[in-house]
Amino acid sequence: WAQEWGNIYDVVAPAGAGNVGYDVGDLLKAKGYQPVKMVKQGEAFYSSLGFPALPGTFWERSQITKPADREVICHASAWDVDAVDDLRIKMCTKVNADDFVTIHHELGHNYYQRAYNKQPFLYKNGANDGFHEAIGDTVALSITPDYLVKIGLLDQAKVPTPDKDIGLLLRQAMDKVAFLPFGLMVDKWRWGVFSGEIPTSGYQAGWDKLRLQYQGIVPPVARDETKFDAGGKYHIPAAVPYTRYFLARVLQFQFYKAACDQSGWKGPLHRCSFFDDKAVGTKLNAMLSMGQSKPWPDALQVFTGSREMSGKALVEYFAPLKAWLDVQNKGKPQGW
């Protein structure tokens, strides 16, 4: 469904800056990482912020790799089974860059669940849906070249020079920015179904219309009402609201900038990693432990100092790429 475009990066990579010099998946394989070790490394990031280690039961009861003896749903998810400390993830982890990022994302759910487990039952949730999805992605934004050096995955001599930043940012934008219209349109389609604006006889047409309107794409082959592309997106048949992911794409950059500011980072925002900064972890935990006990602007203010969600941090993060794209696209027709 083209929700993220990173897999075509090699097709559009800018000449000269496109090859950043490493692939995280290749680095993991070269260092002998297996799925469990990848999860251990994800845990280590949170531990570096001062969060306690995951419980022993996490390693006994999580599904980290796909079972060989039965079919399972491989869609990654995080679970707090007893609302105390029975934390688990369910993944079919493979040794690649995408799953390395996904691990950091899913563990964000687990650490959030643990942080608010002392709250009354009704408050055991994220401040809003977007918060829960944003926490792990905030951490994943810290998977920078310097972080990879610190954990022994990347040699210092191979850290991309600043002239490679456009390549790094474009690769990131093809996932983070390209997702935004998709993140908005999934629930636009669902709400259209609920309201009757999209009739039962037009589920596919309604989906295709929104995809063109928001993403600027069309199906690669002809579709009709015998097809149901929306049903191929896990969150539709599973009845999982999707706007949370749109909000999370905005919030994660806002959280990330706040963490980088707290850590005293002075360079370009996209090069910041707050790994091993316990002061950031303390402030982050203060927000997480609130759960849903206060209105979400209160929780946001605890960590960022602001009561409003803002896309300014996202714009700052990608500012060098935006300037480069403005030059590349000058005089060319834009839109569809």
Q: Is 106 marked active-site?
A: yes
Would you state the pLDDT for residue 16?
A: 72
CA angle 43, 46, 52 (to 5 degrees): 85
Q: Is 235 marked active-site?
A: yes
| Residues 286/131, Cβ–Cβ less than 8 Å | no
| Residues 134/247, Cβ–Cβ less than 8 Å | yes
Query: Which fold is adopted by the domain 6-178+244-327?
Result: Neurolysin; domain 3 (1.10.1370)
Would you state the pLDDT for residue 54?
A: 98
Name every residue whose Cβ is closer than 8 Å to that of residue 266 and which is 6 or more positions away in sequence.
none
Would you state the pLDDT for residue 145?
A: 94
- List Cα–Cα distances, 274 to 183, 192, 233, 290, 304, in angstroms: 27, 41, 33, 22, 15
Compute the half-sphere exposure of residue 137: CA atoms within 13 Å on the CB side of its CA: 21
Q: Nearest Cα to 64, choosing from 40, 86, 46, 48?
A: 40
Catalytic residue among 43, 106, 109, 133: 106
The answer to whether the Cα torsion of 93, 95, 97, 101 is positive or negative is positive
| Residues 167/13, Cβ–Cβ less than 8 Å | yes
Would you state the pLDDT for residue 253?
A: 99
Distance CA 127, CA 293 (A): 8
Distance CA 219, CA 239 (A): 24
Would you state the pLDDT for residue 310?
A: 98
Q: How far apart are the first and last CA of the chain?
A: 18
Domain boundaries, the chain: 6-178+244-327
Counting as low any pLDDT under 50, the low residues of the chain are: none
| Residues 17/162, Cβ–Cβ less than 8 Å | no
pTM higher than 0.85 for the full model? yes
Q: What is the pLDDT of residues 258-297, one digit of tens each?
A: 999 999 999 999 999 999 999 999 999 999 999 999 999 9
Q: Nearest Cα to 300, choosing from 245, 336, 242, 251?
A: 251
Would you state the pLDDT for residue 223?
A: 95
Would you state the pLDDT for residue 1?
A: 75
Alpha helices, DSSP H only, in the chain?
9-12, 24-30, 35-48, 56-61, 97-115, 129-140, 145-150, 165-176, 179-195, 203-210, 243-262, 278-288, 296-304, 312-317, 319-328
